[in-house]
Structure formats: structure tokens, C-alpha cells
């Protein structure tokens, strides 16, 4: 923190320029906040200071409060290390001071940094400067007065939208809203801000205290109507999250009882939320994602990433077309290969539909869509593969086909070309068995839909070179993916950890629990949909193929349910043909299909696992636990085998790859919150009642009996760890 400081320079014009310096984004660390207090106090005392300009060093105003402080609070539980900035610094020292302060904003002003600017008497910004309050994404609310000042400056509706959706705006929009007083060039920023500050001091420009304004709040009845609608929206978009409703309550306090009352309530609620389980989970997820970019013996050995300019994608199906879409959107030239012109045309049309879909939803400009489409070329042979930097194989999960393709690639592609596969389950050593280029074979496992899902699982074998891994990590970041490096085994980290998820759901159904109740309970827990609707979406062919892979690899802990085969036999294939556990009709939400009940009954008869032939009685909590505790159990084996670099990598992968709720921190973090001993005792009890599927792993038993968190690093690397990574 040696670099974190606040400086002040007083010019001959009587303007004190106070500069925040804490690279890279001028985060408001505790020393910065103390420095701001000192410099503002000094400026108030000095007779040669008429006005103040607050700015940030290095073309960034401030990225907000230092999130490391939240992590310290969560680890130690000491809330006193959080400063009372809203009441102390912003309100008393800046806004109510006898000398005016102008915020000179460049680059970004987010979170606490934006709130500092809101406490100033005017705001001057450079073009395309990002402004916003994203605190709700960390399980908290703005805590430096933002809940009170933003509605008074931009109006209640816009402020609620910005806070509830953590939606930032650009300075140009801020100017239209009256939030930004002027937008000027970078070279003019300080000059204009100094003049503006002096003109306020000399009463030639208005001296505006944001907290005292009420003109944009509207009438009390209008405000209550806006907040009522916002509460309904919050319940819909964030049913399990407390911070959204808390934010609206604090805003309402200020509208009814005045800005200062609102600021006091904000400070109190802010501290309460920092200690909430939601904030702990979201802050953990934030830091866990940052940690994925550090991979021992890859990112710390001085290697430089090689630029990937041209990529070949083999297979234009759902996955191949999605991967190709993600690449061309990142300005990377793609050669898409298919086995015949019919399949190739279909693949190209899927890519075009993906790009057009983004345009329709306002996620992509038309000119960028045109440029992206020009980066694609379809081929039926390997002639274009002579100068590619990377090949991504995305054909069906058939070992012999993949082996043939890799044998051909080795002969055709240049020696530096990375040979990767998008397989979701098959061991890479088997895929590359017939090649001699073992050092450049790697897994590039995208998640469907590949152009939208943020996770890229990079799978390395014992022979994959560090350079190949670094190149793929770099490409992943260019594609706006989060690369997580994992070891090689059946299913790798994500699919292996979660293979018991659908099996646990099938176990419950065959024990007599209602299929649709299971889906409702899992959705209420926080996953976007239940396991049976997910199976409908993925298609039953995938379920059968993947199930066989895991049953072969892990026969001692796989539960084989006949239900999917019975569904296929009855002419169902989920959403693909509009018939699954649910009925799929265009223009309406999926509806439970009562005609599946006889099929489910047949499955129950075939498995015969219901105790005494009667359905078991379970609570909603037990449904969650009987489905997710086996997932935790497999996560323990993944950790024990050293498949991931660190436990938090599995948390990131579960959130970004399986849509495990981020506010629960990820699968391992959540398990530690629930308690390893509780998970162990439940699994032991169920294994005695229902069999081997629930048998606790050695790793879980050891951690539970010794009281060690699952996320704690192992005392020493096991032989398995060394072999995997």
C-alpha cells in the first residue's frame, strides 16, 4: 500500500487540486480515505485556498472502495475497520464545507469513487467516462451517501435502475440527466474544473449541495409508486438477495425523512449487509475469479503469450457454431470445417443467427456484426489449416472419430499450432493417444451456448506445455471468457463435480419424490432451472452419452436410472421435439406434462428402491441436500485428486459453468458454510438407507472429523495432485 496516497497542490489561482493516487484504479483504501480527510481539513484551514478540485491520478478518478477491506471483515468479523465515510467524510467535510469542491472525473467513477463525486458541488467529466454504483453485485448497498444523492441528481426512476441493476452510464448521458455539469476533453479537464470551482466560490455559478435537493424526487405518492414497482422487480430478479430490498428501504427513508436521515440509515444498513452471508459469498466469488489468472509454473515463469490470429473449428453443430461465434466476435479469423455442404451451411446459418440475436437484443452494433461475419470462412477439407494457430475440435463425443481427427491434424497443421478438443467428458490422453505431439494437446471446453456462457475450462495433461496453456488463457480473456485451468480426468473439473447432480435428482424421483417439486425447490435454491428442465433443454442423447462415460469411469458411485431411456422410448427428446418432462409451445413458458407420470412409475418399478414400495417423505431442504451433497462429495474427490489449482477455482467453475448461485460463493464455499460435518453425517445416513451413491469420500470424512474447511489447502501435495497438475 506504499503507493496509496493523497496529494494536494495549491495554485496561484487559489484552487487546491487534491489527487487520489492508488494504481491501477485509485481504489479508496483506508489510507486514501484518511488522506482525503487530512487534505480536505488542510484546505479548509488554509487562507490561500478558495476552492477545491478533486481528481484521480492516471486518467482514472476512482474505481470505488477497496474490496480487500470487505474480505478482511469477513475473515476476522471486525466491522470496526470499515470507515464511516458517508457520515464523516462526504457529508460533513465535502458537501457542507465553506469552500466549494468540484470533481474532475476521467475514465471511471464507480462505487465509492462515484459517491465522492456526488458529494462535490459540481462534476466535470471527460468523454466516455463510466459512472455507476455496482455495490449490489457484492451483496451490499452504496455506503458513502449514494442512495441519497443519486436520486436527487438524476431522478428516482433512473437512480433506482442504476442501483438495482448495477447499471453504469457514460458521462454524455450523465450530462443530459444533469448529473454531469460539463463534458470536456482530457486536456481541458483540470483547467475547466478549476475555473468552475472558482466561479462557485465567487457565486457566479450555483453552489449545489446534492443532499439538499428535492426538485427531482417528485411527489411522495409518485415516489412510493416507483419504489413499489421496483420492489416487485427486485422480488422477481433477485428473490434470495436481501440487498435489493434493503437499498429501496434506505432510499425511501431519505425521501420521507430527509437526506441526512437517509444517510444515517444507509451507514447502518451498509454495515449490516457487509456481514451478511450474501456479501460473504459474492465477495468470495469476486476474489476467486481474479485468482484464476494465476497458475503455478505457467503464469509465473516469464513466458510471453503468442498471438492467436487464425483458428480452425471442426464441427458446426451447436457447440462448434457457438465457439466460432465467440471467436469472430473477438475479431479472430475462423475457418469452420464440416463433412459436407449441407452441414456446413447449417453451421454458418447458426453462427449468423447467433450474431443477429445479439444485434436484436441490443448487445452488438450492426457495423460490428458485419465485421464479425466477414471473419468467417466455411470449408470442407483441411487446405486452410496450413497456417492456423489453433484448432478446436467440436465433433460428437465419439473416441475413434476424435482420435482420427487428431491424427490428421498433426500432419497438416503447422508445428506451433495448438491442438485442442471441446470434449466435455473424455480423457484427453485417450483423445490424443495416436499422436506424437502430446505437448500441444489441450482441452478447450466451452459451455453451451458457447458465445454467451463465460467459462472456458482449459484441460491440461501431464505433457501439455506451459506455453500452450498460457496462449489459451490469453485467448480466453480476449474472448471475454474466464479461463480456469484444470487437470485431466473423465469429466474434468466441472462435469465431473456435477455428474451426481442429475443422478441425485433421478434417485429422488425413483424414491417417489415428485419430479416437478424437485425442479421448483432447486430453482428456489437459486439455480436458473431444475435438473429435469435442464435435461429437457440439453436433450436426452447428451444425458445418455455422458451417463455412460461416468458409469464407466466411476462405477462405484454412479446411480443408473432407466428414466431417460424410457423417455426416449416414448418418443420424447425434451425441448428438441417439444416433448419432455415439460410441454414446450412457442410463445409460452414450459408447462409440466402430466403424461410423463406413467413413464416415471415404470422407472420406479424397474429400480425398486422405494423403502417398502412407498414414496419417501422429504422436506424441501432435504431435497436440496440429497441433490447437492453428492455434488459436494465429488468436489471433495476432485480436490483430493488435485484436479484444480485451488478450491476457489472450483467455486468459479461451478458459478460460471453450472450457474450455481454466485451469492452462495460457489459449491465448495457453500459447503463450508453449511458445514462439512453436517454434510458427512447426512451422506453417511443416506448411504446406509439408499446405497453406495451417497457414500462419503475419504477427503470429506477426514475434513469433517478434524473440523477442517473443505477449501483449506492440503498440508502437502498428494501424488494425485502432482500427477494431475
Specify whether 115 is catalytic.
Answer: yes
3-state helix/strand/coil string of 484-534: EEEECCCCCCHHHHHHHHHHHHHHHHHCCCCHHHHHHHHHHHCCCCCHHHH
Strand-pairing partners, residue 63, are none
Cell of 700: 470429506
Residue 81: how many other CB atoms lie within 10 Å: 11
Question: Which H helix or E strand runs over 102?
Answer: strand 101-105
Specify whether 272 is catalytic.
Answer: no
3-state helix, strand, coil in the chain (%, to 5): 55, 10, 35
Strand-pairing partners, residue 132, are 110
| Secondary structure of residue 607 in the 3-state scheme | helix
**How many residues in the chain?**
725
Of 210, 62, 222, nearest in space to 148 by CA = 210
Cell of 195: 475555473
Are 563 and 543 in contact, with CB atoms under 8 Å apart? no
Are 473 and 485 in contact, with CB atoms under 8 Å apart? yes
How far apart CA 487 and CA 362 sit, in angstroms, is: 38
How far apart CA 249 and CA 252 sit, in angstroms, is: 5
Please name the residue that has the C-alpha cell 437517509: 262
Of 256, 248, 250, nearest in space to 269 by CA = 250
Q: Distance from first CA to last CA of the chain, Å, rounded?
A: 33
Q: According to DSSP H, which parts of 258-340 are helical? A: 259-274, 277-291, 318-329
Contacts of 429 (CB under 8 A, 6+ apart): 461, 488
How far apart CA 225 and CA 557 sit, in angstroms, is: 54
Are 327 and 311 in contact, with CB atoms under 8 Å apart? yes
Question: Which H helix or E strand runs over 53?
Answer: strand 51-56
Are 568 and 540 in contact, with CB atoms under 8 Å apart? yes
How far apart CA 369 and CA 455 sit, in angstroms, is: 23
Catalytically annotated residue among 95, 106, 115, 338:
115
Secondary structure letter of residue 187 according to DSSP: G
Catalytically annotated residue among 95, 106, 135, 410:
135
How far apart CA 95 and CA 45 sit, in angstroms, is: 16
> DSSP per residue over 373-411, as a string?
HTTEEEESSSGGGGG-SEEEE---S-HHHHHHHHHHHHH
**Residues with catalytic function:** 115, 135
Amino acid at each position: 500500500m506504499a503507493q496509496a496516497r493523497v496529494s494536494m497542490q495549491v495554485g496561484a489561482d487559489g484552487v487546491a487540486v487534491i489527487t487520489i493516487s492508488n494504481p491501477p484504479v485509485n481504489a479508496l483504501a483506508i489510507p486514501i480515505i484518511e488522506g482525503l480527510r487530512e487534505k480536505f481539513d488542510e484546505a479548509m484551514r488554509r487562507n490561500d485556498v478558495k476552492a477545491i478540485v478533486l481528481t484521480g491520478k492516471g486518467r482514472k478518478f476512482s474505481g470505488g472502495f477497496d474490496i480487500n477491506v470487505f474480505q478482511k471483515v469477513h475473515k476476522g468479523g471486525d466491522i470496526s475497520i470499515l470507515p464511516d465515510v458517508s457520515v464523516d467524510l462526504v457529508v460533513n467535510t465535502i458537501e457542507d464545507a465553506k469552500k466549494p469542491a468540484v470533481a474532475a472525473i476521467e475514465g471511471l467513477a464507480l462505487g465509492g469513487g462515484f459517491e465522492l463525486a456526488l458529494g462535490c458541488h459540481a462534476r466535470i467529466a471527460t468523454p466516455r467516462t463510466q459512472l455507476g454504483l455496482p455495490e449490489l453485485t457484492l451483496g451490499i448497498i452504496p455506503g458513502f451517501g449514494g442512495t441519497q444523492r443519486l436520486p436527487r441528481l438524476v431522478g428516482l426512476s433512473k437512480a433506482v435502475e442504476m442501483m438495482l441493476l448495477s447499471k453504469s452510464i457514460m458521462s454524455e448521458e450523465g450530462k443530459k440527466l444533469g448529473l454531469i455539469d460539463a463534458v470536456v476533453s482530457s486536456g481541458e479537464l483540470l483547467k475547466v474544473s478549476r475555473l468552475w470551482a472558482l466561479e462557485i466560490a465567487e457565486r457566479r455559478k450555483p453552489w449545489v449541495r446534492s443532499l439538499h435537493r428535492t426538485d427531482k424526487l417528485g411527489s411522495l405518492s409518485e415516489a412510493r409508486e416507483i419504489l413499489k414497482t421496483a420492489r416487485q422487480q427486485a422480488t422477481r430478479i433477485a428473490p434470495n438477495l436481501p440487498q435489493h430490498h434493503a437499498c429501496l428501504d434506505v432510499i425511501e427513508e431519505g425521501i420521507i425523512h430527509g437526506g441526512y436521515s437517509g444517510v444515517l440509515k444507509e451507514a447502518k444498513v451498509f454495515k449490516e449487509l457487509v456481514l451478511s452471508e450474501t456479501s460473504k459469498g459474492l465477495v468470495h466469488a469476486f476474489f476467486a475469479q481474479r485468482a484464476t489468472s494465476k497458475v503455478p509454473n505457467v503464469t509465473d515463469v516469464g513466458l510471453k503469450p503468442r498471438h492467436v490470429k487464425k483458428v480452425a473449428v471442426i464441427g458446426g453443430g451447436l457447440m462448434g457454431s457457438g465457439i466460432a461465434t465467440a471467436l469472430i466476435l473477438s475479431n479472430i479469423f475462423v475457418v469452420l470445417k464440416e463433412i459436407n455442404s449441407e452441414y456446413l451451411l447449417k453451421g454458418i446459418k447458426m453462427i449468423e443467427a447467433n450474431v443477429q440475436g445479439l444485434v436484436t437484443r441490443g448487445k452488438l452494433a450492426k457495423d460490428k456484426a458485419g465485421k464479425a461475419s466477414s471473419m468467417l470462412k466455411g470449408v470442407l477439407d483441411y487446405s486452410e489449416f496450413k497456417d492456423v494457430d489453433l484448432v478446436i475440435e467440436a465433433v460428437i463425443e465419439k473416441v475413434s472419430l476424435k482420435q482420427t481427427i487428431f491424427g490428421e491434424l498433426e500432419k497438416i497443421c503447422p508445428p506451433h499450432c495448438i491442438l485442442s478438443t471441446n470434449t466435455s467428458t473424455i480423457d484427453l490422453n485417450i483423445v490424443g493417444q495416436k499422436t506424437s505431439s502430446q505437448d500441444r494437446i489441450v482441452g478447450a471446453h466451452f459451455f453451451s451456448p458457447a458465445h454467451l456462457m463465460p467459462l472456458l475450462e482449459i484441460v491440461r495433461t501431464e505433457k501439455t506445455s506451459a506455453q500452450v496453456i498460457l496462449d489459451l488463457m490469453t485467448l480466453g480473456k480476449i474472448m471475454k471468457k474466464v479461463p480456469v485451468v484444470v487437470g485431466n480426468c473423465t469429466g474434468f473439473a466441472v462435469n465431473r463435480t456435477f455428474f451426481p447432480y442429475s443422478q441425485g435428482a433421478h434417485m429422488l424421483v425413483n424414491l417417489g419424490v415428485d419430479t416437478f417439486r424437485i425442479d421448483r425447490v432447486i430453482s428456489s435454491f437459486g439455480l436458473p432451472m431444475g435438473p429435469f428442465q435442464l435435461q429437457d433443454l440439453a436433450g436426452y442423447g447428451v444425458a445418455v452419452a455422458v451417463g455412460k462415460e461416468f458409469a464407466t469411469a466411476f462405477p462405484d458411485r454412479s446411480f443408473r436410472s432407466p428414466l431417460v431411456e424410457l423417455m426416449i422410448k416414448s418418443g420424447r427428446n425434451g425441448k428438441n421435439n417439444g416433448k419432455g418432462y415439460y410441454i414446450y409451445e412457442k410463445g409460452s413458458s414450459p408447462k409440466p406434462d402430466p403424461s410423463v407420470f406413467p413413464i416415471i412409475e415404470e422407472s420406479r418399478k424397474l429400480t425398486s428402491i422405494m423403502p417398502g414400495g412407498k414414496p419417501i417423505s422429504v422436506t424441501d431442504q432435504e431435497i436440496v441436500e440429497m441433490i447437492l451433497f453428492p455434488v459436494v462429495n465429488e468436489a471433495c474427490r476432485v480436490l483430493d485428486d488435485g484436479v484444480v489449482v485451488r478450491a476457489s477455482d472450483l467455486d468459479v467453475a461451478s458459478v460460471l459453468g453450472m450457474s450455481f448461485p454466485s451469492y452462495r460463493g460457489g459449491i465448495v464455499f457453500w459447503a463450508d458454510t453449511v458445514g462439512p460435518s453436517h454434510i458427512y453425517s447426512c451422506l453417511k445416513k443416506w448411504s446406509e438407507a439408499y446405497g453406495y451413491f451417497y457414500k462419503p469420500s475419504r477427503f470429506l470424512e477426514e475434513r469433517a472429523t478434524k473440523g477442517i474447511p473443505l477449501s483449506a489447502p492440503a498440508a502437502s501435495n498428494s501424488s494425485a495432485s502432482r500427477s494431475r497438475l
